Structure 1
Amino acid sequence: MDKPSSVRSGRPPLTERRKAETRLEIAREAVRLFAEKGVSATTAEEIAAAAGISLRTLWRYTASKENCVLPLLTTGIDAMAHSLRTWRTEQGVDGLLDDMQRDSGRLISHLSAQLDLVRLTRTEPSLRTVWTQAHADAEPVFAEVLADRLGTSADDLSTRLHAAMINVALRVAVEHHAFHETPTTAEAVFATVREALTPAVRCLEEALPRST
């Protein structure tokens, strides 16, 4: 399974942006069809047709119909990794979360599909597997980012614990909002994410050296 993409500075090349948008369009259409018909009753051919591409092109972007949805999951994980990398500790917890919210325009634009997908994980075991694996893949990404900030190894116990706390807080916040909360506006979702992430980020803030 693809891992969350590494954080890059600057705007990605046009070709990469087009590929990313194609992956997201495939993911959105897959979620729509899965919600309407169920995963088992949806074919790869139907997903390709809905996304306006050939089946051959679809298989260039994904290894399975279930994995079609992965870009909707990794977008938020990538946003979190980027915010952790660029965070100036003197900004405090609110500064980190404010930056994450400001930089999440791409995430917000796909919010409805993302929440629909997370809701489907309760009834579709194969999508639950993709969701769980996405966060399993995210944890070492967070650990690598934090290791750079902490001056430690990504395998360091404390670093891994901080990465795990952030990862779990992010996952549980999104699940909680998808399963229980209304409205599903961006502001409401970020309020839930902020509430869940604050304790984990405060612990990290205490461990990080102050920016100079």
Structure 2
Amino acid sequence: MAPPALPRPSLTERRKAATELAIARAAARLFAARGPGGTSAEEIAHAAGVALRTFYRYFRNKQDAVAPLLARGPERWRTHLAAAEPGPSVAELLERSVVKALSEPDDCTAEGLRWTRGLLRAAAGDPALRAVWYRVNRQSEERLVPLLSELAGPDAEALQVRLAAAAATDAVRVALETWAGTDAPVGDPDSPAELALRCLREVTCGVGLFTGHRISG
């Protein structure tokens, strides 16, 4: 049975997300220009056009401000998974959805990958920023579990589902980190989509959920 469609956010939720994203983009621009160590929360708030108290209403610290930007890719991935059609195996569906999320020819995807590359490079010298990246991936893994459970059906073991979510999330994380350390363009053979596909195929061969479950109607 295909998973239910994700609920549409309310107007308040959309406005909140827009404010968070504006702050995240301002923080990413400043981090790219000055590094996290050379950027203050006050400067991020000013660049985003919000009051400092508004900044702290949304985020605990300056590094935390980029979390919404880093989370957009996983959100696109889960959206594709939620729209899955019956038929493909779980492994095939994961591959298709990840490749689509990382290679869609639109400005949003390209911008997101540029931000991610810059932030991962900045995170190399900033433990707090790395912690935000790892937290975003952990949250993505947790949100992937119920989707994979729906896709795999009632016969799937909870342990298999959790292992599959962890393996898939880490495969994509490693692919993005590897790509961020290069100057390869999005459409290169070493693009994020191609690297993610390679990583997924390396890890899925040993996970039971990926080898035997197909999506039913």
Specify the SS of the correspondent of 1:88: coil
- Which residue number in structure 1 is paired with residue 149 of structure 2? 147
Q: TM-score, normalised by structure 1?
A: 0.81
Change in CA separation of 1:35 and 1:98 when aligned onto 2, cut-off 3 Å? closer
Q: Distance in 2 between matches of 1:26 and 1:199?
A: 37
> Which one scores higher on RCO, CA 8 angstroms, separation ≥ 6?
2
Report which stretch shifted further, 143-152 or 183-192.
183-192
TM-score (norm 2): 0.79
Shift of 1:27: 1.1
1:37 aligned residue (34, 39, 45): 34
Whole-angstrom distance in 1 between the partners of 2:177 and 2:203: 17
Q: Residue in 2 aligned with 1:4?
A: none
Whether the aligned pair in 1 keeps the contact of 2:99 and 2:194 (CA below 8 Å) is: no
Q: In the TM superposition, what are the counterparts of 1:76-95 in structure 2 within 5 Å?
A: 76-91=73-88, 93=92, 95=96
Contact 2:151 2:215 survives alignment (8 Å):
no
State the partner residue of 2:137.
Answer: 135
List alignment gaps of at least 5 residues for structure 2: none
| 1:190 lines up with 2:197 in the alignment | no
Q: Secondary structure at 1:40's aligned position in 2?
A: helix
CA-CA distance at 1:189 after TM superposition: 2.8
- Where structure 1 has 5 or more consecutive residues not aligned to the other structure, the ranges are 1-6
Alignment-derived partner of residue 52 in structure 1: 49
State how far apart, in whole Å, the 1-side matches of 2:23 and 2:128 are.
Answer: 17
1:128 CA displacement: 0.6
Q: CA deviation at 1:158?
A: 1.0
- Alignment partner, residue 113 of structure 2: 111
Matched residues in 2 for 1:32 and 1:88: separation? Answer: 38
Question: Identity of paired residues, percent?
Answer: 33
Structure 1 vs Structure 2 CA RMSD: 3.0
State the shift of 1:165 in Å: 1.0
Partner of 1:8: 6
